[in-house]
Amino acid sequence: VATGECKDGYTGNVCANCEDGWSHSSAYDCSKCPPTALNALRLGFILLFAFGLLLFMIRSTLQGSRRQKAMTSVYLKIF
């Protein structure tokens, strides 16, 4: 790297910002962004997991209510 130039991925007056297509990591280093498809896949798995967890919680709450008589409190917990 020549004097007055930033390393790959860095930009700005003191090379403190990341260029487009790059992002700050946890150590404030600039690294290339992952492909869009990979980010979409990760988001899909997170949403699928969250939906499954929600279904599990609703199902366990409804099963627990079968042992009790008060259904109103169960529906209030869900919503």
Question: Which residue do the tokens 């499954």 mark?
Answer: 52
* Integer Cα distance of 56 and 53 in angstroms: 5
pLDDT tens, residue by residue, 26-77: 787 899 998 999 999 999 999 999 999 999 988 888 877 666 556 666 667 7
Identify the residue with better confidence: 11 or 3.
11
The answer, as to whether pTM is greater than 0.75, is no
Query: Please, what is the end-to-end C-alpha distance for the chain in angstroms?
Result: 58
The two counts, helices (H) then strands (E), for the chain are 2, 4
Query: What pLDDT was estimated at residue 67?
Result: 65
Written as one letter, the residue type at 31 is S
Under 8 Å between Cβ of 67 and 56: no
pLDDT at 8 over 60: yes
